[in-house]
A and B are shown apart, each in its own frame.
Chain A
Amino acid sequence: MRKIWAVVRREFLERVRSKWFIISTVLGPVFMIGITVLPALLASRSGGVRTMAVVDWGSGAFGSRLVAQLGTGNRFNALLLRATARDTAAVLDSLTHQVQAKALDGFLVVGDVTVESGLADYRGRNVTSLRDMAILEGILRQAVVMERLTRSGIDPAVVQEAQARIELRKLRISRRGATGETGEATFVLAYIIGFVIYMGIVLYGVNVMRSVIDEKQTRIIEVLVSSLKPFQLMLGKVIGVGGVGLFQFAIWGAVAALLVRYRQVVFSLLGVPPEQAAAVMLPAVGGGLVFLVLAYFLLGYILYSAMFAVVGAVVNTESEAQQAQMPVMMLLVVAIIMFPAVLQEPGGQVAAALGLIPFSSPIIMPIRYAASDVPASEVAMSLAVLAASTLAVVWLAGRIYRVGILMYGKRPGVRELMRWARES
């Protein structure tokens, strides 16, 4: 036991001390802040007030109505310019200069023709801002519709009411009742969970593989195998590297919890306006989800790292491993490819099947659980299948590993691997 512990300790400490670990651990929270704050920040930055002119070369009634409409939001600050057909060119010229001098963001040219045929010109520096243009178009449409209806004799108050903004709030209902979570937040949460588990399994699994190759290449394996059983060595390695993964997740989890708790402070530090900060939707993460994510990550990691250990044991160099690891990688990639389909219909048959297959369940099942209600019996079944498969794979991997670490030269084929596994 003490011997295994020595291996666990070495694998853990050597990794935790490495630059790679420190950088990725720091980058995690930076990424978390990035994906929550950046959209809010961008929204508020582009939400700065745009100064614009409205040039009306018609009667002026529509122009003043438009200016009033533009002024109701806090996005545009518009002023009305009247122009006649004769001096229009001169007015536009001088406005263009003002835009170039950045005194104005742009100007809108309207006339009676706008109301009749819906034609208007906008010239400005912010034409590439989809958001600005969408808002501007919306307001223009609203103004034109209102003007037309008013001209047809409909009470402006009725028109106003008819144009009330429609907003569809999409809230998820789970078994525990209405959750108050939006569909988007649930989707993002499920996506992140799947991605993090996938990355965790790949990164740490490959770490186990590298460690095996390193011991083989430096020939230190010979001294190790004379001191402890190959299975003890493999187990120590898997546990040690897995411990690094859990440690990193724990740091990220703690930082995430702190960030959520003190999000107002973070937002104000980063200069996100309060109304944007309030709009940031954070999905609710329950204890059950945390438990499942950890359970599936651990079992999935052990399952795959045992396979990666075998890859490391049968190759001689890391470049050889690039090729030899393909079959293992493919198993993981299947889960990733099916990712969107599962999110589309988390309760569907495809999702249920992938949630049961041990090679995809570590990634698929937590996604399903986060995005929908999965019956407890299904979760239990999936975990049982995964745990049993993991035990079987680790046992088999240990037998191949034991032979492989002392073999150099030509890479064995599948039949030879099976022979190794059979021999004692």
Chain B
Amino acid sequence: MTQEHVLEIQRITKRFAGHVAVSDLSLSVPRGVVYGLLGPNGAGKTTTIRMVMNIIIPDEGVVRLFGDDLGGRHHSARIGYLPEERGLYKKMRVRDTLVFLAEAKGVTRAAAAGKADLWLERLGLADWRLRKVEELSKGMQQKVQFISTMLHAPELVILDEPFAGLDPINAQTLKDIIVELARGGTTIVFSTHQMDVAEKICDHVCIIARGSKVLDGGLSEVKRVHGGTHVAVAFEDGGDRAVGILGDRSLVAKADDYGPYAELALADGADPQDLLERLVRSGARLRRFERIEPSLHRIFLDKVGVEAAQPGAEVASA
């Protein structure tokens, strides 16, 4: 079954002077999925990706790519990597840059040159291919960077915070590329702290915080298992009469309360039907009462909040 997993991380740990960046982390990325590595800033996402890419070496644990442990550098021709900190040679011509970066990954010159032209054409940079990188606008440079990541038709694409710092048009371009590659069977791993983006394009997610895994799995499975029971309620009268009910911890575990509108996470074993009944009895005038699927953002906040927050500093509840 190993062959089914393009990337397997087995209990890796990385310590830097003073702190543990990644601790005993394991995860598996099945072939052909879009895999979101989610976590707050400083969770260890970049460190994990760097260990996968052989840029830094784990203190403990093993990274297996394509079924072996030879490392990202060995497989560089099969992997497209877009680091968080981006940059290109300023003085080099666009096309030369692309060909060089592909060659450095082990792709032949001739193959790289042909593909560079196709991609430049596709992203509307054909006229710029003989210009120096520094003559391009920032948005164009970002496109060149995408091309350098995808040029060699990698089987596995690893993107570290790919949407950070992109203008809306380029963000859309990149999203389109990711979706298209995913349809073509490319496995995509990307890290982000933007849950809305992850929710739209990921099949699988792994949430990490403080260097450790919080949860992972298929997106729908994660929602089912970790989502709990969520209810959205809206009141016509501002919801003053419902305050006591929403504050009942045996019924409502957590409330994201905006006054006339609230999103509630019910306590384990609590029945939404009971809640509705009590609300009706309290005389509160309901405009809406709906069981909702929790957003990834909600799950992320719930899980990471619990992990990261000090006791008592939880999400405010009314």
Chain A residues packing against B (C-beta within 8 Å): 2-3, 6-7, 9-10, 13-14, 214-215, 217-220, 222-229, 406
Contacts and interface: CB of A to CB of B under 8 A. Distances in A.
Contacts of A222: 55, 83, 85
A223 to B, nearest CB: 6
Contact of A226 (B73, B90, B92): B73
A226 B76 contact: yes
Q: Which of A7, A215, A218 has the most B CB atoms < 10 Å from its CB?
A: A218
B100 A226 contact: no
Given A14-B92, A219-B87, A220-B88, A226 B103 contact: no
B270 interface: no
A154 to B, nearest CB: 79
A223 B91 contact: no
Contacts of A2: 103, 106, 108
Given A14-B92, A224-B101, A406-B55, 18 more contacts: A2-B108, A3-B106, A7-B104, A14-B89, A14-B91, A215-B89, A218-B88, A218-B90, A222-B85, A223-B104, A223-B148, A224-B104, A225-B55, A226-B73, A226-B81, A227-B106, A228-B73, A406-B56
Nearest to B82: A223
Contacts of A217: 87
A10 B176 CA distance: 32
A226 B86 CA distance: 13
Interface residues of B, number: 27
Nearest to A7: B104
Contacts of A219: 83, 85-87
B70 to A, nearest CB: 13
Contact of A218 (B56, B81, B87, B100): B87
A227 B83 contact: no
B175 interface: no
B89 A218 contact: yes
B103 A223 contact: no
B177 to A, nearest CB: 17
Interface in B138-192: 148
The 7 closest A-B pairs by CB, nearest first: A218-B87, A6-B103, A219-B87, A226-B53, A219-B85, A222-B83, A227-B104
17 contacts: A2-B103, A2-B108, A3-B106, A6-B104, A7-B104, A14-B92, A214-B90, A219-B85, A222-B55, A222-B83, A223-B101, A226-B55, A226-B73, A227-B105, A227-B106, A228-B76, A228-B104
B57 to A, nearest CB: 8
Nearest to A405: B55
Interface in B4-59: 53-56
Contacts of A14: 89, 91-92, 96
A226 B85 contact: no
A199 B234 CA distance: 79
Interface in B255-274: none
B80 to A, nearest CB: 10
B211 interface: no
Contacts of B90: 214, 218
A219 B148 CA distance: 14
B59 to A, nearest CB: 12
B72 interface: yes
Contacts of A406: 55-56
A118 B104 CA distance: 83
B104 A214 contact: no
